A and B are shown apart, each in its own frame.
Chain A
Amino acid sequence: MPEAHKPRPLNIHVQGWLLALPAVVLLAAFTHIPAVATVIDSFFSTPHGRRPADFVGLAQYRNMLTDPVFWLALRNNLLYALITVPVSVGLALAMALWVKDRIKGRAALRLAFFTPTVLPMVAAANIWIFFYTPDYGLLNQIMRAVGLGSVNWLGSVETALPAMMAVTVWKESGFFMVFFLAALQQVPPVLYEAARMENASRWMVFRRITWPLVMPTTLFVAVNALINAFRVVDQVIAMTGGGPNNATTLLLFYIYQVAFSFWDTAYAAALSTVLLSVLALISFLQFFLLDRKIHYR
C-alpha cells in the first residue's frame, strides 16, 4: 500500500518547516535580527556606564554629516569600487582569453593568475608590505634599477590607497578569470569558424562574438566585485591600519574602528546602516535592473 507512505499535505508543511528550522533560527539570530537592531540602535545614543541609551532621533546621522573621517571613508570606498571593479573584471577577461588560447606555457600562466586567490588576505597583505618596503622592497629595487626614486608606497597619502587597490586586483582577478573561462567554453565554436571564413580581425571577433556572449558573466562578476569592494577590511587592518592620515580608511574598517577601538557603538550602528543601505542598493540593482536569469534562480 504505497499510498500510506506519502506524507499528507499538512504533514509536508510541518516536516518542511521543521527541517528548515535550525537554519531559520540561526539566520534570524545572526542576519535578520542584527540587521534590524543595527538600524534601530542608530537612533539612540551610546550607553555610558549606568547611563542607558537615549532616543536621539537623527543625531547620529547629523554627526556623520559633519564627520570628515566618514566622508573620507566614503570617498575612499567609492574610489576603491570605481577603480578595482573595472580593472579586475577587465584583467580577468584578458587572463581568461590568454589562458584559453594555445599559448606557450598556459598551465604556468593559469597557475600564476589563480594562486593569489587561494592565499589568506592577511598572508598576502604581509607579503605585499614586504614587496612595498621603502628602499629595500622589490618594487623599490626595480624602481631604482630603472632610475626612478624610492617611494614609500604605504606611507604616503597619495600612494597608499592605490597600493592597496593593487593588492585587491592582484588577488581577485584570477578568481574572476575562472568564471570567464567557463563562459568562453560555452561559446559555440561554429561562431569563431564563421568569423574566420569572413576573415574577421581579432578585434572584430572579440567585439562581435566574445564580448556580447560573455556579457552575463561580466555583469555577474562585476556585481560580485562591487559587493567585495564595500566589504574590504582585512588588508586595511593588516597593511596600514587606515593610515596614513586616514588615506586608506574604508567604510567597514571605520565601522570596526568606531565600534571596537572607540567603543562608540551607536555611531558605529549608524555607520553600519549606511553600509547596509549601500549593499541593499547593489542588490536592488542586481535583481531589478540586470537580467534576473543570470543570477540566483
Chain B
Amino acid sequence: MSDRLTSSISTAAAWIFGLIWALPLLYAIWAAFHPSAYATHFDLTAPLSLENFTRAWAAAPFARYFLNTTLLVLGIMAAQFVICTLAAFGLARWKLFGGEVLFALILVQLMVTPDVLILENYRTLRTLGLIDTLTGIGLPYVASAFGIFLLRQSFKSIPKELDDAARVEGANTLQTIWRVYLPLARPIYVAYGLVSISYHWNNFLWPLIVTNSTETRPLTVGLQVFASGDQGIDWSVICAAALMTSAPLLVAFLLFQRAFIQSFLRAGIR
C-alpha cells in the first residue's frame, strides 16, 4: 500500500471520528434552537427560536443555580489558593521535620478523592451542621493534594536567591510568599484556577448528596432535578437547559482554547 493512500485513509478516518465526536453536541444545539416540532426531524428551513431557553429558564430556578455555582467555584478556588499556597511553600522551601512523610500522606488524596468517602464525609458535615450549605459542598475539596503538589513543584523551581534577597530587605515569610512566589508562579495559578473551576463547575455526586434545597443546589444538581422532574419528555427544553448549564465554560473554552489546553497540560504533567 502506498504511503499516499494510507495518508488519505487516515485523513478520512480522522474526519469520520471528528464528525462522530461533534454529532451529539450538534444534535443538542439543533434541538435547543428550534421549536420542539423540529427536535427530531431535520429541515433546513426550520425557524430558529430561543423559546426552549426561556421555557427552561422559567420552569426551574436556574438563575439561583447559576449564582450558587458561581459562588461555589470562586469560593473553592480562593480557599484552595490560600491553603495550598501555604502548605506548598512550607514543603517546597524548607526541609521540614517529617516533611517527606507529610507530603506522601497528602498525595493519598490524589487517589482517595472525597467522592469515594461520601458516607463518612456526610457524617462529618452533619456533625458540623454544614449539610445543605455551600461551605459544606466546598470544604472537603479545599485542601487539595493536587494543588499542593502543583504549587510545590513550581515553588521549588524558583531560585532561592530571590527568597534570600526579600528576607534581607526585612520581609517575613508571608510577605516573601506574596512578593516573590506569587508573581513568579502566576502561570501555575492560572492553570490551577482553570482546572479547579472546570472541575467544580462540573462536580455532581457530592453536591447531590449534600444539598436538598434550591438555595444551595449548584447547576449540575439543578439540571438533574429538572431533567428527571415532571417536565414530560420535552427534549428540546432539556437540551436547552443542558447547553445553558455548560455555556459559561463552553464559551470560555472557545475564547481561550489555548490557555485551557495549556492549563490541563501543565496541571497533568510535571
The chain A residues found within 8 Å of chain B, CB to CB, are 2, 5-7, 12-13, 15-20, 22-27, 29-35, 37-38, 41, 91, 94-95, 98, 103-105, 108-109, 111-124, 126-128, 130-131, 133, 136-138, 141, 170, 174-175, 178-179, 182, 201-202, 220, 224, 227, 231, 233-234, 237-238, 252, 255-256, 259-260, 265, 268-269, 272, 275-276, 279-280, 282-283, 296
Contact = CB atoms under 8 A, between A and B. Distances in A.
Interface in B239-261: 239, 241-243, 245-246, 249-250, 253-254, 257, 260-261
A120 B249 CA distance: 9
Interface bracket on B:
35 or more
B253 to A, nearest CB: 5
B60 interface: no
B24 A127 contact: yes
B260 A118 contact: yes
A127 B117 contact: no
Contacts of B235: 130, 133
A23 B91 CA distance: 12
A23 B89 CA distance: 12
B10 to A, nearest CB: 7
B111 A279 contact: yes
Nearest to B116: A275
Given A20-B90, A20-B91, A179-B265, A116 B105 contact: no
B220 A120 contact: yes
A6 B18 contact: no
A238 B21 contact: no
A160 B249 CA distance: 29
A17 B27 contact: no
B142 A91 contact: no
B119 interface: yes
A20 B87 contact: yes
A150 B256 CA distance: 40
Contacts of B27: 127, 130-131, 138
Contacts of A16: 90-91, 94, 96, 99
A30 B257 CA distance: 34
A237 B228 CA distance: 10
A-B interface, 4 closest residue pairs, ranked by CB to CB distance from nearest: A34-B120, A26-B143, A23-B87, A19-B90
Nearest to A22: B83
- Among A16, A98, A179, the one with the most B-chain Cβ atoms within 10 Å of its Cβ is A16
Given A30-B140, A130-B28, A234-B204, A123 B17 contact: no
A262 B65 CA distance: 28
Given A103-B14, A282-B111, A122 B224 contact: yes
A20 B102 contact: yes
Interface string B188-199: 000000000010
24 contacts: A15-B90, A23-B86, A41-B120, A109-B14, A109-B18, A111-B254, A112-B21, A118-B246, A120-B204, A120-B249, A122-B220, A122-B245, A124-B242, A133-B40, A138-B24, A178-B264, A178-B265, A179-B265, A182-B269, A220-B268, A237-B208, A256-B118, A260-B209, A276-B112
